[in-house]
Structure 1
Amino acid sequence: MLAKKIAVNTIISAAARAVGILLALATIAIITRHLTRNEWGEYSIMLTFGGIFAVIADLGLYQLMVREISRPQADELKITSNIFTIRLLSGLFLFALAPLISLFFPYSEQAKLGILVGMAGFWFLSGGQVLIGLFQKYLQMIKVATAELFGRLVQLGLVWWLVLSGYGFLPIVAALSLGGLANFLLIFWWARHYCRLRLAFDRVYWWNVLQQGYPLAVASILTMIYFSSDSLFLSILKPAADVGIYRLPYKILEGLIFFPAMFVGLVMPLLSRFAQTDREKFKNIFQRASDVLIIFAIPLVAGTLVLSPTIINLLGGGKYNESTAIFNILIVAVGMIFLGTLFSYVLIALGRQKSLLGISAVGAIFNVVANLIFIPRYSYYAAATTTVLTEALVVILMAIMVYRFFRWLPSFKIILKGLLATAGMIAVLWFLSDGNLVLSLAAAAIAYFGFLYLLRGFSRAEILSLIKSGESGAEFTRYDL
């Protein structure tokens, strides 16, 4: 019964997240058509600032909340109230600091005002995010998904109305903040159904939480550096329009990388269970998870290379043709992230999470140095290429660490079958090159998996086995939701 409830929560959450991504892309499509290229660049600068300060404001509190309230006899009210208060106050300070720091950057006055208005939305989203652990404990992630969709719909509706009414840049930024507020209020209201949440100021407990969260916070910040420094350096060294050209396909990338994280999160209970107890079962799960991720990554990358002009035109309204080449570069990084996500979770399952800190540090240093050297000359092309090279470096280092600690890596024989099936898929896409995008995507998916099945890239028995394994391991964790 518990496994079934977890499966239902996971499926609904994934579906809601997919819908949320589509709503976000629809909002972007409206904004890019309404704003000038320079204004979209300034909007992108605001998003970059918000993303950076959201990571800094996390302080490792989300992971700690999940862990602490899931322990037997946990004082849920004390834990939740104190961690929520820390997040609320630290977030208030940091997101208020962001517009002050922006004063020292070479941005326009409008961009700086956009950062001021937009940080309120990121503060609301940050406050709601730390409460998600409470819903995970009670297997109510459906409510979190509903709150996210509600916030997205509020933002989309407001943006649509503002555009029709002829409003400009700052009101559109304010719509993002109001969408964040809607999300936060719904999550907070539902959270109080499970715990009488209140502000709490236990200084001893605060100090203990901050000490425990410090390593997690450092790891997150290092990851953020190599994931976001490109946009930040681009905003400093190049015109705002260049940032907009780069960030348009980057928003798609941010949506796509959710899916490997979701899948590996489902596999994580089994990896954790067998890492120290059954080497052969661990290898089997590792291999099958690797095969699944490769099976999806190859057509995603290849299909994007074919359809990128259509996708960028749909999102940018014909104003951002330069973004097509950037999209083609960045999608290679997405393919690498599919495997990188699995390797990082494997290291955690093996109890070697400290090695991730060093790998993230190497990735961050390489990314910063490369961006500083090449962005002044090659602009967004340098930023995109550096992102791919950084992800490649990080994945290689993680694979080396996995082999060092486990003395084994999965076979990548499935790549050949994936490439052959992808060749058939591309032929179908070429035949439908003048057709509807949705029709092309559906036909491509059917063609790819049809060819892959004929090539025996997967079987019905393997799929059923993986599902049964997931159900049997479902009770070992709740954090994969």
Structure 2
Amino acid sequence: MMTAPAQSESRRLFSSSVAMIGGRLISAGFGWAGSVIIARSLTGDDWGRYSFVFALLGMLEIVTDLGVGRVVLARLTSNDRAEASKIAGSFFVLRAVLGVVGFAIAVGYAWAIGLDPVVMAATMLAGTTVLIATPANALFVLYQSRLKLTYVALCDIAGQAVQFLLIVVVSLFSPMLLMFILPAVVREVIVFAGRAFGVPKLLDREFRPSFREPTAYWGEMLREAIPLSVGFALLHLLERIDMLMLQWMDTFDAVGKYAVGYKFSDLLGLAVSALAIPFTTVLITAWPGKPEVFRARFRQAVLIAALLAGVAVVVFIPSAQAVITLLYGVEFESASLAAILLVVGAGFSGVTYAVVSSLIAAKKLRVFPIIAAAGLILNVVLNLILIPLQSIVGAALATVITESAMLVAMLLVLQWSLKVAQLIPWTIFIRMIIIVGVVVFLFTQLIDINWVLEVVGSLVVFVAVWGVAERKTSAVVVDLIRNRFGTETEPADDH
């Protein structure tokens, strides 16, 4: 029978997971719609410039994050109330400084490679989002430590909705590259203000930032975060280096088409990464004192991540060409195969992030940077070979190969380092891949019907086959829902 504290944790875990996934998907929907308007309003080259600038800024998480947030999260969940407030304040100031550094690096890179004045100006304007978002993410960690993420999700939705409305206004009255960047800046201002406003209302006093010793914990934070920082820096670089390599080896038009593919894969990535956020918190509290709870929570995280990936793949593959043409225009039809490959790659990387969350919780991070470095090297080599041969399709294929190899490597490292019995559900992963492959083949090669019917049929068949084949695994989702509504049950666990 589950104890009251465990049941309470399950309820908060479920609520936070639903809020984060739902919030990310709604925000992504607004962002997606906005990207369609921007892509249709700008020329192909200007859309490529817009995509390149934000891809460059996205890579700056290497500098602005450094993995410090995850180290601080472990401290905040330890319930050392005497230090929590000072640590939170020191962390906030450190993130603000890292935001300034990230902005300087973005502008410096744009100047060093000799980008034209318009792209340089776009980089400087868009770079202000880094200055705002970096300390805002420090506030996010405070909410994460208490599993109070519903409010954060609502703030994100509000910011994204305002950005979308401003994009519509710009498209109607001044559809220029620089003007389309302003809505992104406004979004970050709204998100930061919302998170800051909620801190004194939603968090206990001891978890509110104190700025009396703003640099007191910097050295300690950075030293503990070094392996994590390097690993996440390399992992993030691995995921976005293809955009920069396309700009070097191809054209801005190719970058713009490839960015369309990323819009779809990022939707899946947002959902799965949102799932990892609350699970990281409960995994940290479970290790090392509660290995059975850790095992159950880990399997819940990776199995739900795999299920989300499977649903996304079987729904997107039959609809990719039609949806891309419908949303972005016939000139982007050639991006459909690359988009499919990127969504498949995102499915692998989503499960990888759940595995990384477990390594973080267990403080087993020394091998992580090595695997990430190997993955980055593999991805760069594959891009050098495949981009000249297949352009955006080659870049996407390199991503799939790299992400699948990374997932297998991370799973092996986790099993080897933690030595927890039956931790990795290998057979379930294999069955999931087989089911996805069979369903996709059935509805893309054997059945020739309208693409909408193909999508519906693929989803229904996939869910039905998965439900029959994985009856025990489906209890993972059922258990989380039951715990949310107060039904006492142990965490589901399947072999």
TM range (shorter): 0.7 to 0.9
Distance (whole Å) between structure 2 residues aligned to residue 76 and residue 459 of structure 1: 38
Partner of 1:479: none
Partner of 1:477: none
The answer on 1:332 being equivalent to 2:344 is: yes
Structure 1 letter corresponding to 2:36: A
- Which of 209, 218, 222 does residue 234 from structure 2 map onto? 222
Deviates more, 1:156-165 or 1:317-326: 317-326
Tell me, what secondary structure is at the counterpart of 1:107? coil
- Which of 312, 319, 339 does residue 300 from structure 1 map onto? 312
CA drift of 1:216 comes to: 2.3
Distance 1:220 1:12, change over 3 A: same
- Which of 121, 127, 130 does residue 113 from structure 1 map onto? 121
- Which of 37, 40, 44 does residue 47 from structure 2 map onto? 40
Deviations 1:422-449 (A, max 9, x none): 75687678979546x5x86556434432
Distance 1:139 1:100, change over 3 A: same
Structure 2 letter corresponding to 1:79: I
Tell me, what secondary structure is at the counterpart of 1:167? coil
Q: How does 1:77-226 map to 2 (within 5 A)?
A: 77-193=85-201, 194=203, 197=209, 202-226=214-238
Tell me, what secondary structure is at the counterpart of 1:140? coil
Distance 1:138 1:314, change over 3 A: same
Partner of 2:38: 31
The root-mean-square deviation of aligned C-alpha atoms, in Å, is: 3.4
Deviates more, 1:282-291 or 1:240-249: 282-291
Deviations 1:245-301 (A, max 9, x none): 111111221220233344455666776687767878876766666555444433432
Deviations 1:377-420 (A, max 9, x none): 54322221211121122122223324534386534257557745
Partner of 1:12: 19
Tell me, what secondary structure is at the counterpart of 1:75? helix
Deviates more, 1:179-188 or 1:206-215: 206-215
Query: Does the 8 Å CA contact 1:417/1:455 hold for their aligned counterparts?
Result: no
Query: Does the 8 Å CA contact 1:421/1:452 hold for their aligned counterparts?
Result: no
The answer on 1:366 being equivalent to 2:417 is: no
Distance (whole Å) between structure 1 residues aligned to residue 132 and residue 390 of structure 2: 36
Q: Kindly, what percent of the aligned residue pairs are identical? A: 21
Deviations 1:143-188 (A, max 9, x none): 2111111110121011100101133110101211121112112212
Deviates more, 1:426-435 or 1:444-453: 426-435
Query: Does the 8 Å CA contact 1:336/1:395 hold for their aligned counterparts?
Result: yes
Distance (whole Å) between structure 1 residues aligned to residue 16 and residue 118 of structure 2: 42
Deviates more, 1:307-316 or 1:265-274: 265-274
Deviates more, 1:275-284 or 1:391-400: 275-284
Distance 1:210 1:255, change over 3 A: same
CA drift of 1:106 comes to: 4.7
Distance (whole Å) between structure 2 residues aligned to residue 58 and residue 33 of structure 1: 33
Structure 1 letter corresponding to 2:401: L
Distance (whole Å) between structure 2 residues aligned to residue 180 and residue 240 of structure 1: 26
Distance (whole Å) between structure 2 residues aligned to residue 402 and residue 198 of structure 1: 36
Distance (whole Å) between structure 2 residues aligned to residue 284 and residue 176 of structure 1: 39
Partner of 2:62: 55
Distance (whole Å) between structure 1 residues aligned to residue 183 and residue 475 of structure 2: 48
Structure 1 letter corresponding to 2:223: Q
Partner of 1:478: none
Give the length in aligned residue pairs. Answer: 471
CA drift of 1:350 comes to: 5.4
Structure 2 letter corresponding to 1:48: A
Query: Does the 8 Å CA contact 1:308/1:327 hold for their aligned counterparts?
Result: yes
Distance (whole Å) between structure 2 residues aligned to residue 414 and residue 390 of structure 1: 18
Structure 1 letter corresponding to 2:229: A
Partner of 2:467: 453
- Which of 401, 404, 407 does residue 395 from structure 1 map onto? 407
Distance (whole Å) between structure 2 residues aligned to residue 87 and residue 69 of structure 1: 16
Query: Does the 8 Å CA contact 1:57/1:94 hold for their aligned counterparts?
Result: yes
Query: Does the 8 Å CA contact 1:295/1:415 hold for their aligned counterparts?
Result: no
Deviations 1:428-478 (A, max 9, x none): 78979546x5x8655643443234435565587665446568999x9xxxx
Structure 1 letter corresponding to 2:373: A
- Any gaps of 5 or more consecutive residues in structure 2? 1-6, 489-495
Deviations 1:344-394 (A, max 9, x none): 345455553322221111111222233344434543222212111211221
Distance 1:378 1:287, change over 3 A: same
Distance (whole Å) between structure 2 residues aligned to residue 201 and residue 414 of structure 1: 48
Partner of 2:257: 245
TM-score using structure 2 length: 0.83
Partner of 2:3: none
Query: Does the 8 Å CA contact 2:227/2:365 hold for their aligned counterparts?
Result: no
Deviates more, 1:400-409 or 1:19-28: 400-409
- Any gaps of 5 or more consecutive residues in structure 1? 475-481
